Amino acid sequence: MTIKRTFYGLGLAALATVLVACGSDDPSRGTVVAVTETAAVPAAGIDAIVASQPGLASLIGAPSRCDVTISKLSYNTIGPKGGWSPASGGLMIPSGADCPGPYPVLVYHHGTTVYRAFTMSDPTNGEAGLQMAYFAAQGYVVVMPDYLGYGDSKTYHPYLNAENTAAVSIDALRAARTTLTKMSVATDGKLFLAGYSQGGHAAMATQRTMERDYPAEFAITAAVDMSGPYALTQSFLGAMDTPVMGASVFAVMTFVGYQKAYGDVYAHPEDIFQMPYAMGIESLIPGTMGTTEMYMGGKLPLALTGAGGLLTDTFVTAYKASADFPARKDVAKNDLLNWKPVAHVELCGGQRDPTVPFGNAVGASAYFASQAVTVPAVDVEMIPDFQAAIAAQVAAAPDLSTYHGTIVPPLCMSYAKNAVFGPRL
């Protein structure tokens, strides 16, 4: 097995071996449909890739001690309106003489992607590659749901839909547990949750649902939610006047997803989206085009509001005017400042984030404090060991275009692994 690229464009020769084919006529939640191996990577190969990335080895904190098998996990779950839906995700299983188990389990939730073909079982997926280096190669089983709208799922993507995302994640974990049992892979009972960006929102939603609905089934050891939009109500109101970087993409994914889930955002796309962007917008994302291609091809504007922007003035005015406006109520349904964590959770991010403002973490921390729960909001820029790396990368991209997607993720993952999860192993 050869290693062809770095984790940010990880290319491993695919090994398409069917391990398990557990088809079932009973479409119960979390039923395994199939498990298909997509790659097997030796510990030395993982270390070689880590070594090619300046500073990554020190962030991880230890050499790889495990070989890792990556598989596509296909399973059954539910849709936003109920009913059964196929779903998929990635499953990483560690092994090796220096890595005997039993293993803790991490459920990792990925960030926003505009590509329908995205899947966390793809060996070329850079975000999955980071989970391999930080966690699977260190002795964690890693479960990585794709969410509906990606992988095996052919439906729309219910973006920032807290209840459905949590259901899909929980069923991925159930399917993974079944698979691990069939493969005689021992786990140690420790369960960690994490996610970045959209995945930060997903991880928090999953913890809320596990603790609210399934406390006897899941005992969470700790969670680290990274750069997520937890305070959706505040974030969307703020973005109407001061849009974040990428706001037009997020608005399409959110409001089209809520329309398809709840049916009350608009009667016709042009009710909220300006022309010509309203044409075909319901099937635009996720799709086959990247963000730059959509902007350059006239499918989306950079501006969120105003003349030539994405949203109509009528929609923006109504949204800002009333908390009872349907689209605003739908956003509020998916706000995560409405519960009280039981398991330990921390929030990680960066104060200069232009895509998901760090105010989300600060506001969430303050809300949980009002509920008598300590949930630290950790700013990577306040960690001395990270400051030089941040400064160098910001100097290379002073417009902060790489801040959210490239600079902060490996730092928050380092914090999660070494400052939160490690002490609880």
The CATH number of residue 122's host domain is 3.40.50.1820
Number of Cβ within 10 Å of residue 47's Cβ equals: 18
Query: Residue 17: what pLDDT?
Result: 27
Number of Cβ within 10 Å of residue 363's Cβ equals: 18
In a domain, 297, yes or no: yes
User: Do 327 and 343 sit in the same domain of this protein?
Assistant: no
Query: Residue 27: what pLDDT?
Result: 54
User: Do 212 and 273 sit in the same domain of this protein?
Assistant: no
Count of the separate structural domains present in the chain: 2
In a domain, 218, yes or no: yes
User: Do 66 and 148 sit in the same domain of this protein?
Assistant: yes
Long-range contacts of 178-183 (CB under 8 A, 24+ apart): 178/22, 178/30, 178/31, 178/32, 179/20, 179/32, 179/35, 179/71, 179/73, 179/91, 180/93, 180/141, 182/20, 182/22, 183/19, 183/20, 183/93
Q: What are phi and psi of 5, to 5 degrees?
A: -145, 180
Number of Cβ within 10 Å of residue 95's Cβ equals: 18
Q: Could you tell me the CA-to-CA distances from 181 to 175, 177, 178, 185 in Å, in that order?
A: 10, 6, 5, 6
User: Do 57 and 93 sit in the same domain of this protein?
Assistant: yes
**pTM for the full model?**
0.93
Query: Residue 8: what pLDDT?
Result: 31
- Residue 145's domain spans which residues? 7-231+339-424
In a domain, 325, yes or no: yes
Query: Residue 28: what pLDDT?
Result: 83
Length of the chain equals 425
User: Do 140 and 176 sit in the same domain of this protein?
Assistant: yes
Low-confidence ranges of the chain (pLDDT < 70): 1-27
CATH number of the domain enclosing 292:
1.10.260
Last residue in a domain, options 293, 309, 333: 333
Q: How do beta strands 84-95 and 67-78 pair?
A: antiparallel
User: Do 191 and 211 sit in the same domain of this protein?
Assistant: yes
Measured distance between the N- and C-terminal CA atoms of the chain, rounded to whole angstroms: 31
Query: Residue 146: what pLDDT?
Result: 98
- For residue range 196-253, what is the model confidence (pLDDT) as tens digits? 999 999 999 999 999 999 999 999 999 999 999 999 999 999 999 999 999 999 999 9
User: Do 180 and 133 sit in the same domain of this protein?
Assistant: yes
Last residue in a domain, options 333, 367, 396: 333
- For residue range 36-82, what is the model confidence (pLDDT) as tens digits? 999 999 999 999 999 999 999 999 999 999 999 999 999 999 999 98
Last residue in a domain, options 294, 312, 333: 333
Triad 333, 339, 341: Cα angle to 5°? 140
- In whole angstroms, give the CA distance from residue 242 to residue 232: 15
In a domain, 2, yes or no: no
User: Do 144 and 263 sit in the same domain of this protein?
Assistant: no
User: Do 321 and 274 sit in the same domain of this protein?
Assistant: yes
Q: Could you tell me the CA-to-CA distances from 285 to 108, 116, 216, 249 in Å, in that order?
A: 22, 8, 37, 8
Query: Residue 375: what pLDDT?
Result: 98
User: Do 126 and 199 sit in the same domain of this protein?
Assistant: yes
User: Do 326 and 385 sit in the same domain of this protein?
Assistant: no
